[in-house]
């Protein structure tokens, strides 16, 4: 159980840094990555017979899908097609909560993977600025000590936020 929590914390930190440095299309990719992470963690819990934890992960994935639905801009025709796919995944998650079948999990996962791949191509071409303009820049690296490996973080955000 301890290792699962460590990985959770590491993943959250990774997602936080990515979100801080993301533009709009990259945020969509990050949400897809979060959904896929929750599905993977859920499958691990299911394999270990931890139903309650499995349900928690699927609920988190559903929350991400709901966020994607609420962020759709209805003025574009593609939004209605995306909404249909998101609603399908959401219904599939609801079915999984009642009866966690591998086929259902794989179906939802495949839809998200396909959408993620498409949006990654869009994000690769999107040169718009990050949404968090005054975000902290983080530089990280590893150095070797005599008998250890040390992680170094450098915070270049000394003038973040408002000055009074």
- Picking from 6, 113, 108, the residue whose alpha carbon sits closest to that of residue 58 is 108
- Picking from 116, 160, 138, 124, the residue whose alpha carbon sits closest to that of residue 23 is 124
H, E, C per residue of 114-125: HHHHHHHHHHHH
Using DSSP's 3-state secondary structure scheme, residue 157 falls into coil
Instruction: Name all contacts of 44-51 with Cβ < 8 Å and 24+ positions apart.
Output: 44/4, 46/100
Look at 130 and 114; give whichever has higher pLDDT. Answer: 114
Q: Residue 128 has what pLDDT? A: 77
Using DSSP's 3-state secondary structure scheme, residue 139 falls into strand
pLDDT in tens, 7-64: 578 888 888 888 888 888 899 999 999 999 999 999 999 999 999 999 999 999 999 9
**Burial (0-12, 13-18, 19+ Cβ within 10 Å), 138:** middle
């Amino acid at each position: 159980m301890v290792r699962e929590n460590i990985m959770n914390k590491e993943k959250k930190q990774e997602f936080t840094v990515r979100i801080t440095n993301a533009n709009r299309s990259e945020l969509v990719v990050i949400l897809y990555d979060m959904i896929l992470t929750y599905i993977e963690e859920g499958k691990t819990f299911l394999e270990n017979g931890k139903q309650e934890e499995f349900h928690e992960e699927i609920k988190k994935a559903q929350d991400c899908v709901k966020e994607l639905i609420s962020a759709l801009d209805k003025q574009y025709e593609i939004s209605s097609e995306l909404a249909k796919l998101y609603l399908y995944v959401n219904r599939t998650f609801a079915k999984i909560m009642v009866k966690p079948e591998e086929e259902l999990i794989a179906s939802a996962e495949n839809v998200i993977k396909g959408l993620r791949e498409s949006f990654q191509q869009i994000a690769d071409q999107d040169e718009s600025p990050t949404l968090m303009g005054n975000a902290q820049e983080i530089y990280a690296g590893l150095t070797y000590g005599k008998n250890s490996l040390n992680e170094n973080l450098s915070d270049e955000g000394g003038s973040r936020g408002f000055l009074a």
